[in-house]
């Protein structure tokens, strides 16, 4: 009979396997970021860990909700633009009907600010016990994820401080998006975001390799498992696959596995 952790993990893995455009999860995006698939598969290959949520990093333009509690409902915050992929970032501001102005709201209390945000990778991992949580937390901290922590029930949040949070406008009368910075400035912070994404994905690769070496492979070795990874090249004069090759391979393997599970589910309906 499975213990409670194994049952929970089995349920989560089932949800991951069927997630897609036609079966969205509870996140704002609704689907798993493709950049996260390799590290999700790696973590979930460990019997004592399972990923519960993830974000590979994103740029968003966010309209804040009103701070005035006397204002009627319907004035909550909302995303105006969101992307998790750098290919969609260029000229993002042209997709928003901005009115460029040289004035600011008279009251920050009543104003609804428009914020340009870069948010880095975040992973939440449920662990079976404290020892596993401590090990994962230590690996993450050593990779520079200094905002990480261990919550209740051995849940590890892996976070870093790479971010950007800039007010660029506010909601004007008639629900017009008023931008009080220039288009050149928007281009500038977009270029900064490209740098943030590069740094973010570099740290994602570092984390993947550290978990693989420090947790997955080290435990295999301690158990006497000397089997070679068929996707790695031998030490006899050959090189290991590059990070880019590894990421592409793991991404394709994850997508293939996900599709196989989806088809298997459809076959049982």
The pLDDT tens digits of the residues spanning 209-239 come to: 999 999 999 887 766 654 454 444 433 333 4
Query: Is 208 a domain residue?
Result: yes
Query: Is 245 a domain residue?
Result: no
Task: Give the model's pLDDT for residue 249.
Answer: 64
Q: Where in the sequence is the domain holding 139, given as residue range(s)? A: 7-190+198-215
Burial class for 141, CB neighbours closer than 10 Å (0-12, 13-18, 19+): middle
Closest CA to 25 of 128, 124, 112, 148: 124
Query: Is 121 a domain residue?
Result: yes
Query: Is 244 a domain residue?
Result: no
Question: What is the length of the chain?
Answer: 269
Query: Is 235 a domain residue?
Result: no
The tokens for 58 are: 């994103």
Q: What is the mean pLDDT of residues 33-57?
A: 95
β-strands 98-100, 176-179 pairing: parallel
Query: Global pTM?
Result: 0.77
Query: Is 67 a domain residue?
Result: yes
How far is the C-alpha of 99 from the C-alpha of 226, rounded, in Å?
63
Query: Is 234 a domain residue?
Result: no
Query: Is 126 a domain residue?
Result: yes
> What is the count of structural domains for the chain?
1
CATH of the domain at 20: 3.30.1960.10
- Are the C-beta atoms of residues 36 and 44 closer than 8 Å to each other? no
Predicted confidence band of residue 265 (pLDDT cuts 50, 70, 90):
low
Predicted confidence band of residue 23 (pLDDT cuts 50, 70, 90):
confident
Q: What is the mean pLDDT of residues 181-207?
A: 97
The tokens for 159 are: 């976070």
């Amino acid at each position: 009979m499975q213990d409670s952790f194994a049952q929970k993990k089995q349920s989560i893995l089932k949800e991951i396997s069927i997630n897609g455009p036609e079966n969205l999860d509870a996140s704002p995006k609704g689907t798993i970021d493709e950049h996260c698939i390799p590290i999700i598969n790696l973590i979930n290959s460990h019997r004592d860990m399972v990923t519960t949520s993830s974000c590979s990093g994103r740029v968003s333009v966010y309209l804040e909700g009103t701070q005035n509690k006397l204002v009627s409902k319907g004035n909550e915050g909302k995303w105006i633009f969101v992307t998790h992929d750098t290919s969609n970032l260029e000229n993002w501001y042209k997709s928003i009907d901005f009115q460029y102005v040289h004035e600011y709201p008279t009251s920050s209390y009543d104003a609804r600010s428009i914020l340009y945000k870069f948010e880095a990778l975040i992973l939440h991992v449920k662990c079976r016990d404290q020892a596993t949580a401590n090990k994962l937390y230590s690996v993450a901290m050593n990779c520079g994820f200094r905002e990480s922590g261990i919550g209740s029930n051995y849940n590890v949040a892996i976070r870093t401080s790479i971010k950007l949070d800039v007010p660029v406008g506010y909601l004007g009368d008639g629900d017009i998006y008023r931008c009080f910075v220039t288009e050149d400035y928007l281009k500038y912070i977009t270029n900064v975001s490209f740098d943030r994404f590069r740094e973010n994905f570099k740290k994602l690769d570092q984390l993947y390799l550290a978990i693989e070496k420090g947790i997955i492979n080290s435990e295999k070795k301690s158990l006497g498992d000397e089997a070679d990874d068929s996707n790695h090249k031998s030490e006899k004069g050959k090189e290991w696959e590059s990070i880019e090759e590894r990421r592409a391979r793991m991404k394709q393997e994850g997508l293939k596995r996900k599709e196989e599970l989806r088809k298997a589910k459809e076959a049982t309906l």
